[in-house]
Amino acid sequence: MFFLPFLIMITNAMTLITLPDKIIWNDGSISGFKSQVKGWMRQHDNILYYTKSEIFTFNKQYTPYKDEYIKKMFRYQDENGRLYRKRRGGKQYLDDKPGNTIGDVWNDIYSFQTITRSKEYLGYPTQKPEKLLEHIVLASSNEGDLRFSNMLLSDQRYDF
């Protein structure tokens, strides 16, 4: 199994101090060979992320509010034209929070087993959707940061 030696190698290379958390990516697919397994079918991947120290970059990610939700919940407008809703004696402005915070279970991004005709799919069996990688990169780096791509043997490039 490739994963365990890689995990040990990366652990030694980084002199890990902390494993803050893991992300569960529900890839949205129980089909093909997976559906023939006797017992519970794996429908997710665990994504582990490491930091080298207690000080690290983390930018919360959001899914935008749906238009219907905005119309229903943000019904008030102040003198500057900003939309808000009343919250426990105060106001919550729409532009203060860009949407719903993304937690550690991601179920809004489908795998290539589900979306097989995606234009970004290059045919690599372990290729991940660009949106999944975008969440990770944007959450763990700032604009202008140096970023490492481990897509050494693929033609995949990302511009986020």
Q: How confident is the model at residue 125 (pLDDT cuts 50, 70, 90)?
A: confident
Same domain, 71 and 116: no
Domain limits for position 16: 1-58+102-160
Q: How confident is the model at residue 157 (pLDDT cuts 50, 70, 90)?
A: low
Same domain, 39 and 69: no
Q: What is the pLDDT of residues 7-36, one digit of tens each?
A: 555 555 555 556 667 889 887 766 666 677
What is the pLDDT at residue 82? 95
What is the pLDDT at residue 56? 87
Question: Rounded to an integer, what distance in angstroms lies between the CA atom of residue 118 and that of residue 116?
Answer: 6
Q: What is the pLDDT of residues 35-63, one digit of tens each?
A: 777 888 778 888 887 777 788 889 999 99
Question: Rounded to an integer, what distance in angstroms lies between the CA atom of residue 87 and that of residue 122?
Answer: 47
Which amino acid appears at position 19 of this protein?
L
Q: Are 23 and 103 in contact (CB under 8 A)?
A: no
The candidate with the shortest Cα–Cα distance to 60, out of 3, 139, 147, is 139
Same domain, 148 and 95: no
Q: What is the pLDDT of residues 64-94, one digit of tens each?
A: 999 999 999 999 999 999 999 998 889 999 9
Q: Cβ–Cβ contacts within 10 Å for residue 129, how many? A: 19
Same domain, 39 and 86: no
Among residues of the chain, what percentage have pLDDT more than 90? 24
Q: How confident is the model at residue 1 (pLDDT cuts 50, 70, 90)?
A: very low
Same domain, 51 and 67: no
What is the pLDDT at residue 150? 62
Number of domains in the chain: 2
